Structures are given as C-alpha cells and as structure tokens.
Amino acid sequence: MASRNHGPTPASSLATPLLSDSITPTTPTRTANGHARGHDGDDDLCAAASVCDGGDPFAFLSGDSRPPRPPGPSPADPFRNRTPWLGGPYGWARTLLLAPVAAARLVLFGLAIAIGYAATWVALRGWTDSRERPREGAGPMPAWRRRLMWVTRLSARCILFSFGYHWITRKGRPAPRELAPIVVSNHVSYIDPIYFFYELFPTIVSSDSHDAIPFVGTIIRAMQVIYVDRFSPASRKSAVNEIKRKAAGNSFPRVLLFPEGTTTNGRFLISFQHGAFIPGYPVQPVVVRYPHVHFDQSWGNISLIALMFKMFTQFHNFMEVEYLPIVYPPEIKQENALHFAENTSYAMAHALNVLPTSYSYADSMIASRAEEAGKANCSSYMVEMAWVKEVYGVSTAEAMELLEHFLAMNPDSDGRVKAQDFWALFGLYCSPLCKKIFHYFDFENKESITFRQFLVGCAHLRKQPLFEGVCETAFEKCKAPGTSDISLAQLANALRSGMLPPADDGMLKLFETFDIDDDDKISRDDFVACLARFPFMIALFAGRINGEVYIEIV
C-alpha cells in the first residue's frame, strides 16, 4: 500500500499540495486518438505507477482522510437457497414418484385457499372498520367475526399439510398476551406467516404491496394489518405508533413482527429493524427451523413457484417452532431500542446456534439488483448495510444509486472494477492523479475494487468535516469571476491544476456528469450535488483550491 501523507491539521490542510512527490516537468503532447503522450512516446498512461506511489490525494480534507479498514466482509450469504433445482438423480426420481401426490396436494391447496377466502369474506362483510383496508386508529375486530376466522385458520393448517408439513414440532408455549403483547420471529420462508396465522392469529406489519395479492390480501386485512412503506420515514413512524397502540390494548390480538424485514436461509440472523422494540413492551422471541437434508426450504434466490413445486414433491417437510423466554426492555431508559433489539437478537441467535450479522434487507436488494444486471457471484456486492448505515449514515437509496454507477463500470466475474473501467465512466483516463484517487479505494493493492470498498470510501470522504466547505470553495475557484456557473471550458481549465484534461469526448462526458439538471451549465447546486454523489472527484480540484499547478510525468 502506498504510504499515507498525514499532512497538517485541518486548520491549514487546504494549503497541502495534492501531489507531494517531486516531479520533473515535461511537456506532454496529444496523439490523434486524444491520449496524452510524453517525450518517450509511451501511450500507456497507467504505467506511471511510480508517480502515483505514496501520498494521500485527500489530505487537504483532514489529517488522514483514508477510511479505517472495515472488518472484512463475511463470506456468508444469508439469502441464498443452497438446494439445486432438482438435486441430481435422487431429486429426479423423487419428483417423478411424487408427481401424482403433488397434483393431489395442489387440489387440496386450492380448496383450502377458496374456503379460507370465503370465510374471511363473510367475516369482513359489513365491518365498517375494514372497508377496503383497515384504517389507522380503527378498533379491534368484534369477537364473533374473530370466531368465524377459525375457519380460515383451519384452512391455513390444511395449506401447510398440502405443502408437506404433516406435523410440526413445537417447543415451549406462547406467553400470555398480557405479559408479552409483541412476538418477534426469524423469517425463513413464506410458510412462517401461514403457521403463525393458524397458531396465533396475530396482527402483523405488512408492506403496502401485499394488500393487492389476490385472496391473500383479503386474509391479511382480516388480521388488522399495520401497513408500512419501509422507504418512507413518515410511514415507518406511523407504523410504530400503530404497533404501540395495538400492543397497549388487550382487545387487539398480539402483534407479530419479523424484525429482519426479509427472509433468510436460516443459517444466520441479519440485523433487526427497531419497530418492534421502540414501543418498549416486553417481547417473546420465537425461532423457526426447517431441518432438511435434500431440500433447503428457505425463500432466498428462488422463485415462489419453484419453491412451491419443490415442497409439493417432497415426502415430508420438517419444521420446528420454539417459543423462547420473554425479553424485557432495558430498565435504564438511556438504553434505547438498539440495545433492546440486540438483546433479543442474541437470545434468538443462541437458540438457533447461528451468528448474528450486519447484513440487512438492503443487502438482499443489492444482490437482487446485481442478479438483474446479469452479474455472477452476486453475494460479492453485499456490503453489510447495517454496519455501513450505523457508521456512515448511508441510506438504502444512496447505496442503490451508487450501485447503479458501479455496475456501469463493468465489474468482472468477481464483482471487482479496474482503474481503467472506473474512470472511463466519467470520461477520464488513468492519469497519475487518477491512479492516486483509485488507490484510495484499493487499500488491498489488488488493482481492482469491490462495491463495498467503493461505497465505504465515498461515505467516509463525504463524512469529513471539511468536505462541504471545500466543495463550496472549489466551485468559487473553478468558475470565472462575475459568473454564477461553470462552463465546459472553465471545467477543463480547472482540471489543468491537477492533471492533463481528457480529449473532447471525455471532457464532455465529465461535464455531463456534473451538469445534473442538463441545462448545459454547472450551477452551484449541480456542482455540490455531484460531489456529494461522487465525493472522490473533489481531489480533481485540489490544485485549483490551493492555487497551485501540477505537471504530471506521462
């Protein structure tokens, strides 16, 4: 790894030269294809590694702007279903043998759905608090309607039977609702909520999108569901208030939440969301296991239809449900929902004999997006988003936006991007300065970076205390006096303080990156917003900020 330039204290860091190496001036020329060429005629700009060794291109932001080395990413993939499609000769033979049984199970499944839907429709008929969906603040379902829902609950047990869950092992007992009004469980399969619907008939928290699912949406509404848009802070806050209201009233069913927010393969626990723990009521953890030999029943990177087919063609599917002792909120009020969630997570991880991780629902979104983009080894794109969010405050939306740019950099089969492809996205070539910037991300000296390194590096730069002020200073230094915007020519002129500007097409590409509103000029808002998105580009203007000119050896 290159040596770090710790530089001066932040008070005088803007005077730190961008390139502290001793440089011998040369006069570069430009070839016909737009690349820079030195006196020796070497076209390979990336060969200037000796110039790039050492020095921190972001030393002007702080004494040491390099991010602390994050803990190495876990090799585990908590979302992957590990069973092949048919599992070899045994799988083929089993499927052929059980094909008639699967057909009978499908009929039973359809009948159970139809009967359950009919009973639910009758139970909801004329209930003013239901309408099309439960209103926030609505009262509990009347007792006679809840009793009628027993028909639907028995239908749910028939559905489980049709999927091959002929018997289900249960350990422990549900605590009285008065002692633990909230139940939390790990989430492995779509089978989990079906079982809990039959066993507890709880109130659940559900995504808005589930309301539109045929048949299932009606049954969910009968559970007096709490709807939430996980990407809306206002919706999440409203959902927490509803959880608190329904947990406080014994006339409501107990509240069931899956704090992981998505399904995993059951081999790990991912980070918990805090909605179940913010109200401060005791919770009863429940752990669900699916012991298997030939068939992983988790709903990971497998379609719902494929998973249902594999369940129909199994002799028997094993499921265990264990009710754990109640976990109480911390007695010291200063210990917030985070500690409450951690205590519950550790209790569940101990019962499951698995490790809690810093992965979250956002990591499953990242892996899914990489799969949609046709990338191999999609788990290599996951970043342990709970850790990134806690340390750097990066939102899921910001991470997904950076992922789109990273995917556009042409990652290889291992999910890594080389310097040339990194800078090609912005129209820049691999100059010594660009090599220095790339090396900031490539702390492993592998000449390529992962999405995790890219995300953490950007987040750390943006968190530097001087970053916002330096962005404003850079804009003032780059625009011409008396103007309020930066033109293409002014941007090219600003780059000359640190590197040789790229050819015309590359310069136009870089300009379009900064011109966020596409009005053919870079306003202050454009400039600051672009640097907030790609904070490493601030190093391109450090020479202009310092009033110094650097000549690269090429």
Q: Where in the chain is the domain with CATH 3.40.1130?
A: 88-356
CB contact at 8 A, 188 and 298:
yes
Please give the pLDDT value at position 295.
83
CA dihedral 175, 181, 183, 184 (to 10 degrees): -140
pLDDT cut 70: percent of the chain above it: 82
Burial of 312 (0-12, 13-18, 19+ CB in 10 A): buried
Please give the pLDDT value at position 243.
92
CB contact at 8 A, 192 and 288:
yes
Local confidence band at 47 (pLDDT 50, 70, 90 cut-offs): very low
Beta strands in 165-277 (DSSP E): 169-171, 182-185, 203-207, 226-228, 255-257, 268-269
The pair of structure tokens assigned to 283 is: 């919770």
Q: For 361-462, which CATH class?
A: mainly alpha
What is the distance between the alpha carbons of residues 487 and 253, in angstroms, rounded to a whole number? 63
Please give the pLDDT value at position 41.
37
Local confidence band at 177 (pLDDT 50, 70, 90 cut-offs): very high
In the CATH hierarchy, which fold is given to the domain comprising 464-546?
Recoverin; domain 1 (1.10.238)
Encode pLDDT of 362-401 as tens digits. Answer: 999 999 999 999 998 888 999 999 999 999 999 999 999 9
Q: How many CB atoms lie within 10 A of CB 475?
A: 22
Please give the pLDDT value at position 293.
72
What is the distance between the alpha carbons of residues 302 and 439, in angstroms, rounded to a whole number? 38
In degrees, to the nearest 5, what angle opens at C-alpha 482 toward C-alphas 477 and 485? 65
Q: Say whether pLDDT at 549 is over 70.
A: no
Q: Say whether pLDDT at 7 is over 50.
A: no
Give, for 526, the enclosing helix (H) or strand (E): helix 524-533
Mean pLDDT of 537-548: 83
Please give the pLDDT value at position 98.
86
Please tell me the least confidently modeled range out of 48-62, 199-213, 421-435, 510-524: 48-62
Encode pLDDT of 462-513 as tens digits. Answer: 998 899 999 999 999 898 888 899 999 999 998 888 788 888 899 999 999 9
Local confidence band at 272 (pLDDT 50, 70, 90 cut-offs): very high
Type of residue found at 531: L
Q: For residue 253, what is the DSSP state?
A: P
More confident residue, 71 or 354: 354
Between the alpha carbon of residue 444 and those of residues 2, 66, 425, the distances in Å are 10, 13, 22
Q: How many CB atoms lie within 10 A of CB 373?
A: 14
Encode pLDDT of 437-470 as tens digits. Answer: 999 999 888 999 999 999 999 999 999 889 999 9
What is the distance between the alpha carbons of residues 432 and 87, in angstroms, rounded to a whole number? 52
Give, for 448, the enclosing helix (H) or strand (E): strand 448-449
The pair of structure tokens assigned to 25 is: 């001036």
Q: Where in the chain is the domain with CATH 1.10.238.10?
A: 361-462, 464-546
Integer Rg of the chain from CA? 29
More confident residue, 317 or 39: 317
Could you say which of 3.40.1130, 3.40.50, 2.60.98, 1.10.260 is the CATH number of the domain covering 88-356? Answer: 3.40.1130
Please give the pLDDT value at position 18.
30
Please tell me the least confidently modeled range out of 16-25, 64-73, 314-323, 465-474: 16-25
Sequence-distant (6+) residues with CB within 8 A of 149 are 119, 120, 123, 141, 201, 222
Q: Say whether pLDDT at 218 is over 60.
A: yes
Please tell me the least confidently modeled range out of 149-153, 186-190, 301-305: 301-305
Encode pLDDT of 323-335 as tens digits. Answer: 999 999 987 755 6
Please give the pLDDT value at position 542.
86
Q: Say whether pLDDT at 15 is over 70.
A: no
Q: How many CB atoms lie within 10 A of CB 445?
A: 8
Please give the pLDDT value at position 229.
84
Please tell me the least confidently modeled range out of 182-196, 253-267, 292-306, 521-535: 292-306
What is the distance between the alpha carbons of residues 256 and 239, in angstroms, rounded to a whole number? 13
Local confidence band at 554 (pLDDT 50, 70, 90 cut-offs): very low
Mean pLDDT of 143-160: 93
